[in-house]
Structure 1
Amino acid sequence: MNYLFIMYPWEDIDPNADSSLQLIHEVASRGYKVALTTAANLTIRDCMAMTFAKVLKNQDKVSKSVNSFYKNAQFKEEMLPLAGFDVIFMRANPPLDNIVLNFLDSVKDDVFIINDVEGLREANNKLYTAAFYDPKNEVIPATHVSKNKEYLKRVIKESDSEKMIMKPLNGYGGSGVIVLEKGASSNMNSLLDFYISRKDGESNYVILQDYVEGAELGDIRVLMLHGEPIGAMRRVPAEGDARSNVAAGGSIQKHTLTAAEKKLCKWVGPKLVQDGLYFAGLDLIGGKLIEVNVLSPGGINYINKLNKVKLQRKIIDYCDDVIRSRESLRSRRSELRKAVENA
């Protein structure tokens, strides 16, 4: 098997917390070919999608310690065709560069891409939850997205809640998430100006979302594989912070999904599979779906430690099964075509 990870630079990895590293280590442990690249290293040569990749050198024995594996990993630089890989993992941090998807379009019928190109187009930012029809806001908090400052001010004013969540459309890791209180309306203009305005004269989209009671206690991160939950954890905000993301200083706790949370996962799962979002992270608060993370969902390390499991094995097993199934279908089709041709 040949695996390619389109991600952030190897040097930026925190070996104690990085989910991509867990996946890479699992692939290498199986003796498969592993290559890493970044979006900036994708290229076209003779009308063929290629990449300047770092190929992991074969090791006689892959260390069981992820930290040791990371520390001792050695690479060689190669220019390789994307179509030569069996699996391509998209693990780049948001926001998504749509040019990357243009490169992948040319190989999407030949390579198993996780997540699917069209799914990533639809779901790479926080607008995706709008695809889930929930007119009574029973599962998804009332959400408003706009660049229009006057409209956003009106939404805040007309809200029945004393608090709302504001965040940038393309943020990640909890960056830019704040709690708005109606009592601080004198600061509203400057806050909206800050979030909407850009130095290049363009403007950013801003999300306003009803505050869900219990948010101060943290959120639940659920990892979904082919529409089914495979692990979860509670993320608790640092004192004085509204954000529960670990990257923003939050802490983690063991969590067992409640019946209501399992029901929500069952409700979301088929849509994820339909859109080719085979590996995703759901963020839940108070039994409601806040976000769907599809680019580089994290939490594998933490859930593993809290529950003494190895989720990366399930994920790579799933990819291997998909490839074997595809190869079996291709082989059968080839045999059937020969039967027809020899008739």
Structure 2
Amino acid sequence: MKLAFVVNDVATEQDNYTTIRLARRAVARGHEVALIGLGDFIYDWEEGICAMATLSKVAKFKDDTTYLAHLQDPERERTRIRLGDYDILMLRSDPAEELTSRAWAPASSLLFAQLASLGPTIVLNDPRHLTDAVNKTYFQGFPESVRPQTTITRELDEVRRFLDAHDGRGVIKPLQGSGGQGVFMIDKKSGHNLSQITEAVTRDGYAIVQEYLPAAKDGDLRMITLNGRPLKVDGTYACLRRFSETDDHRSNISAGGSVEMMAPDEDALTIAEIVGPKLIDDGMYLAGLDVAGDKMMELNVDTPGGVSFMEDLSGVDFSGAIIDDLERKVRLQRQYGGTLTNRQLAVI
């Protein structure tokens, strides 16, 4: 199998990223792996979608740190590849990282990915629907029963009106963002700073304001779904609890939160059951559901992460199960002779 990953930039990848774990597992099995940065695509008038890619040696590496050093070797030169020669193209970039310096990059890469999906390459997640999911408005397309009450605005008065209706408590964050960056907890004590907070959050776009979920004080669950269903391997769910051991309310790993493996409770599994049909219909192959109590706080369909932490904590080979599934999709693509659509292959 020939597998390519789209990342923000190979130089900024980190050794705890899920992408690096997946790529290392793939090359250990003998698969050819390429990493492509957002600005590395080429549309060739004769060959279609190409890219300047970092190619990986096919080998078993000691750990993710060693493997990343191999990819980021300053003497390693990029190679021009043709995407039509690749079986899978996995889109694993984080649009939030490009908001200030390269706002053009995420949208451009999705357009190249859409063109690539017209050929034999399976593109995951499906790039047509992923275009609709680049910010948190996508979240509002799921049933009201699984998401907190929300308003999206740039107006300070609208923020105040929402908070007044929710006992002065809520969470305000950028509409486009991730990793706990720019997230503020508002209560009656901090309300006097609301003007400054709203100004800071809306500096680069809209703010999303959500009701405060009491269950979030104990952290949240990050649950990985594959093909629209919770990923479960050898009886263990790909699910961990993220929590803060400080006064910082953010439990995101990238914001310094702690993690432990935890099986999803009935509420979390019910949420996964409810959101699954839309994930399947939209071709969202790999997703990360962030759950607090009986509500889904966020949904990550761009770069759902945490798999490396889950494996290290549990000893369960979740990334291997994902590679197994990608191999299965490639077999189906060949068996059906290209008659299945990209969206179908994404979640079948």
Q: Taking structure 2 as the reference length, what is the TM-score of the superposition?
A: 0.87
Cα deviation per residue 1:111-160 (whole Å; 9 max; x = unaligned)? 111100122112222122211122xxx32110111122222222222x23
The aligned residue for residue 99 of structure 1 is: 108
Q: CA separation of 1:186/1:42 partners in 2, compared to 1, >3 Å: closer, same or farther?
A: same
1:78 counterpart = 2:79: yes
The aligned residue for residue 115 of structure 1 is: 125
Query: 2: distance between equivalents of 1:185 and 1:69?
Result: 47
Cα deviation per residue 1:208-234 (whole Å; 9 max; x = unaligned)? 000001211111000000111121000
SS in structure 2 at match of 1:261: helix
Query: 1: distance between equivalents of 2:49 and 2:13?
Result: 26
Cα deviation per residue 1:168-206 (whole Å; 9 max; x = unaligned)? 0111111011101134333222221222234xxxxx100
Query: 2: distance between equivalents of 1:55 and 1:197?
Result: 38
SS in structure 2 at match of 1:330: coil
1:50 counterpart = 2:56: no
Q: CA separation of 1:316/1:160 partners in 2, compared to 1, >3 Å: closer, same or farther?
A: same
Aligned residues: 321
The aligned residue for residue 35 of structure 2 is: 36
Which AA in structure 2 matches 1:114?
L
Identity of paired residues, percent?
27
Deviation at 1:240, TM superposition (A): 0.9
Larger radius of gyration: 1
Q: CA separation of 1:239/1:148 partners in 2, compared to 1, >3 Å: closer, same or farther?
A: same
Query: 2: distance between equivalents of 1:124 and 1:71?
Result: 30
The aligned residue for residue 2 of structure 1 is: 2
CA contact (8 A) 1:243 1:250 kept: yes
Query: 1: distance between equivalents of 2:263 and 2:244?
Result: 19
Query: 2: distance between equivalents of 1:100 and 1:238?
Result: 38
Return the match for 1:125 from 122, 135, 145. 135
Query: 2: distance between equivalents of 1:282 and 1:250?
Result: 17
The aligned residue for residue 283 of structure 1 is: 290
Q: CA separation of 1:11/1:105 partners in 2, compared to 1, >3 Å: closer, same or farther?
A: closer
SS in structure 2 at match of 1:172: coil
Cα deviation per residue 1:56-87 (whole Å; 9 max; x = unaligned)? 234xx423533333334564421122222110
SS in structure 1 at match of 2:146: coil
CA contact (8 A) 2:220 2:292 kept: yes
- With 170-179 and 80-89 compared, the bigger mean Cα shift is at 80-89
Q: CA RMSD in A?
A: 1.9
- With 307-316 and 143-152 compared, the bigger mean Cα shift is at 143-152
The aligned residue for residue 334 of structure 2 is: 327
Which AA in structure 1 matches 2:130?
L
Which AA in structure 2 matches 1:40?
G
Query: 1: distance between equivalents of 2:229 and 2:91?
Result: 20
SS in structure 1 at match of 2:242: strand
Deviation at 1:331, TM superposition (A): 8.0
The aligned residue for residue 234 of structure 2 is: none
SS in structure 2 at match of 1:257: coil
Q: Taking structure 1 as the reference length, what is the TM-score of the superposition?
A: 0.88
CA contact (8 A) 2:244 2:251 kept: yes
Deviation at 1:285, TM superposition (A): 0.6
Unaligned stretches of 5+ residues in structure 2: 97-104, 232-237, 341-348
Which AA in structure 2 matches 1:162?
G
Query: 1: distance between equivalents of 2:284 and 2:316?
Result: 23
SS in structure 2 at match of 1:166: strand
1:162 counterpart = 2:168: yes
